[in-house]
A and B are shown apart, each in its own frame.
Chain A
Amino acid sequence: MKQLLVFIRKEFLHVFRDRKTLLMLFGLPIAQIVLFGFALSNEVKDSKIAVVDYSKDIMTRQIINKVGANPYFEIESNLKSATDIDAAFRKGNIKVALVFPDNFSTDLIHTGTATVQVIADGSDPNLATTVTNYISTVIADYTASLSLQEGHPVQVQPEIQMLYNPDLRGAPNFIPGVMALVLMLVCTMMTSVSIVREKELGTMEILLVSPFNTTYIILSKLAPNLLISLVNLFIILVLSDLFLDLPVKGSIVLLVFCSILFILTCLSIGLLLSISAKTQQAAMMGSLMGMMLPTMLLTGFLFPIENMPLPLRLLSNLVPSRWYFIIVKQVMLKGLGIGAVWKETLILAVMAFGLFAISLRNFKIRLQ
């Protein structure tokens, strides 16, 4: 037991004396939150909008007011004719234009359907899609309330429903992703260099010629990174609550418990890399290429997994962050309990202990 403590103490000393790395470890989650939460958001705010209203009736005005009241839009100008739209786009100050045809409300009431033209700047496809989606949502909203008033359906609209994130905010989707990414990076990278560094510096050679306990060595390598990761988790949760308006809706105990499972999984992956790698550089590259890319691509927070071809979908099952991502979304954003995430939790637990057992078994007690 004393041996374990002295091993752990030593690992903490290594970590705390490497100030630069330590700074990086704690700077990383903050940078990621700022990047993904604020700077790199894919939501479009205050899009300037131009309106051409040929109908000028109460309904078009209501719709225009609704669009203008939306925080994502700002009515820039009321144009007299559709021919002015082109010029307005060319000036570059509007992102989208709305054109209401003549007799808009008459058509809508009598025939049940009416058209509105939504013209977006296609030179920025992402932005155009986002903006037109916002508009459609607003219009759908309006027609729905109108149908209720009139007592009969006035327009057949595909029902767009955005549960938990009705206005397509970026942050709710990114925070679980950032959590998975940060924890994965810190755990895997830091652990992956820890054992191979001792091999490279030659200290492993001395350590092996001693009555060391393999489990103690491995546990001591995990301890500082587990602590750092928990601090990081705390930072992320506080930041997202304070600045992104995303508190933990579900049980914080459950979230922390699942996070520890995920952290242990990542630590074990790092250990395995560290045990098999010959140099620190190889271990670093292995964790970057081997873990960061799958975490980014196959977790589901950048690209939906459902849309991927089957081989990638199958592959994504092996990526631990995929399961953690689901857990965080369910527990943190939707406030669901263990009943909703027991399957994912179990998968993470199996991964964590399986990988830990494998690295324990693969730990080389000799130099060969």
Chain B
Amino acid sequence: MIRIEHIGMTYDKGRVVALQDVNLEVNKGEIFGLIGPDGAGKTTLFRILTTLLLPEKGQAWVNNYDVVKDYKAIRNSVGYMPGKFSLYQDLTIEENLNFFATVFGTTIAENYDLIKDIYVQIEPFKNRRAGKLSGGMKQKLALCCALIHKPDVLFLDEPTTGVDVVSRKEFWDMLKSLRKEGITILVSTPYMDEATLCDRIALIQKGSILSVDTPEGIVHSFSGQLYAVHGQGTYHLLQATRGYEGVASCFAFGDALHATFKPGAQGPALQAYLQSKGHSDARVDPIKPGIEDCFIQLLNQ
């Protein structure tokens, strides 16, 4: 459905590299996640795929249409939700939706089935101006507007940034039901926990794709055993753990530390070492890695 080959892009006359040699393939009807920190190049890739930017190198196809040559056909058949809320703030919910429906040559009634589940949630406020909506409602309206012409591919650039936890969960439920309609969804997010909700994900960093796999596959590819270190005084604990010569890597993860060992080193030995260093409550347990652990490991390779 989406094919990306050797796409490269720079800004500021080549001084800032946004994307380098990106290769990806997204299958029809899947939710594909682009996971990476701010500035990784996610938005640039979205803009190239939605024909807003011309790639400097490489080629890409959406729905078998070339992003450079067939930009008109792509613009007709995709839905795009930019990272920043980009609807008319001084128009009401209904006016915004009507506007985009007409621009795409359709009506709200024609594709109402597709947006119904989302639209009913904001319908009570349909005469409210978009600028006066809460973050979650804005996001639902933006999704409705992106869906109103029943696109084949949906591009969602950080749709859940700045949205509360409940709305985020609802949003992902909506995406799941859209997948059932056969819509291919490319979604980007800086949140690692949302990665597990995708069918497949690509980890992206500094304009390069680090890994492409299912979330499970990515987790499986984690090399070695991961340990969690719990204890008082995270900072000193981190210093002490990193000081242990058997530790390969160690990072703070919320209230715990995640550490891997060099071949031969063991968890209990670290625990004894930390206790001897004055961290009497230190505990080292083996745990399953998450996407974020894999991401950090890939970054360090």
Q: Evaluate whether A206 and B87 lie within 8 angstroms (CB atoms) in the complex, with A366-B51, A366-B53, A366-B54 already known.
A: yes
Given the complex of chains A and B, what is the CA–CA distance between A207 and B50 in angstroms?
A: 11
| B105 in contact with A3 (CB, 8 Å) | yes
Interface residues of B in 190-217 (CB under 8 A from A): none
Contact residue among B53, B87, B146 (Cβ-Cβ distance under 8 Å from A368): B53
> How far in angstroms is the closest Cβ of chain B from A163?
51
- Chain A binding surface SS class: helix
**Which interface residue of A7, A10, A18, A202 has the most chain B CB atoms within 10 A?**
A10
| B75 in contact with A210 (CB, 8 Å) | yes
Given the complex of chains A and B, what is the CA–CA distance between A210 and B147 in angstroms?
A: 12
- Whether A6 is near chain B, meaning CB under 8 Å from some CB there, is yes
> How far in angstroms is the closest Cβ of chain A from B69?
13
Contact residue among A6, A17, A206, A365 (Cβ-Cβ distance under 8 Å from B145): A206
- Whether B227 is near chain A, meaning CB under 8 Å from some CB there, is no
- Whether A201 is near chain B, meaning CB under 8 Å from some CB there, is yes
- Whether B252 is near chain A, meaning CB under 8 Å from some CB there, is no
A-contact bits for B41-55, CB 8 A (1 contact / 0 none): 000000100111110
| A10 in contact with B86 (CB, 8 Å) | no
Given the complex of chains A and B, what is the CA–CA distance between A6 and B105 in angstroms?
A: 11
Among the stretches B27-35, B94-102, B108-116, B286-294, the one at the interface with A is: B94-102
Interface residues of B in 124-147 (CB under 8 A from A): 129, 145-146
| B102 in contact with A3 (CB, 8 Å) | yes
- Whether A14 is near chain B, meaning CB under 8 Å from some CB there, is yes
Given the complex of chains A and B, what is the CA–CA distance between A53 and B153 in angstroms?
A: 97
B-contact bits for A1-42, CB 8 A (1 contact / 0 none): 011001100100110011000000000000000000000000
**Residues in chain A near residue B129, CB distance under 8 A:** 17
Q: Evaluate whether A202 and B84 lie within 8 angstroms (CB atoms) in the complex, with A6-B103, A207-B103, A210-B103 already known.
A: yes
Contact residue among A7, A202, A211, A366 (Cβ-Cβ distance under 8 Å from B82): A202
The chain A residue sitting closest to B79, CB to CB, is: A209
Given the complex of chains A and B, what is the CA–CA distance between A365 and B51 in angstroms?
A: 9
- Whether B244 is near chain A, meaning CB under 8 Å from some CB there, is no
The chain B residue sitting closest to A367, CB to CB, is: B52
| A209 in contact with B90 (CB, 8 Å) | no
- Whether B253 is near chain A, meaning CB under 8 Å from some CB there, is no
B-contact bits for A102-141, CB 8 A (1 contact / 0 none): 0000000000000000000000000000000000000000
Given the complex of chains A and B, what is the CA–CA distance between A2 and B107 in angstroms?
A: 11
**Residues in chain A near residue B98, CB distance under 8 A:** 6
> How far in angstroms is the closest Cβ of chain A from B186?
13
Q: Evaluate whether A208 and B90 lie within 8 angstroms (CB atoms) in the complex, with A2-B102, A10-B99, A202-B84 already known.
A: no
Given the complex of chains A and B, what is the CA–CA distance between A367 and B9 in angstroms?
A: 14
> How far in angstroms is the closest Cβ of chain B from A194?
13
| A208 in contact with B52 (CB, 8 Å) | yes
| B103 in contact with A367 (CB, 8 Å) | no
- Whether A46 is near chain B, meaning CB under 8 Å from some CB there, is no
| A209 in contact with B102 (CB, 8 Å) | no
The chain B residue sitting closest to A210, CB to CB, is: B103
Given the complex of chains A and B, what is the CA–CA distance between A201 and B71 in angstroms?
A: 23
- Whether A257 is near chain B, meaning CB under 8 Å from some CB there, is no
A-contact bits for B63-83, CB 8 A (1 contact / 0 none): 000000001100110101010
The chain B residue sitting closest to A14, CB to CB, is: B90
Given the complex of chains A and B, what is the CA–CA distance between A126 and B90 in angstroms?
A: 50
Given the complex of chains A and B, what is the CA–CA distance between A67 and B89 in angstroms?
A: 65
User: Can you pick out 10 interface pairs between chain A and chain B where the beta carbons lie within 8 Å of each other?
Assistant: A3-B103, A6-B98, A7-B103, A14-B88, A18-B90, A202-B85, A209-B78, A211-B103, A366-B52, A367-B47
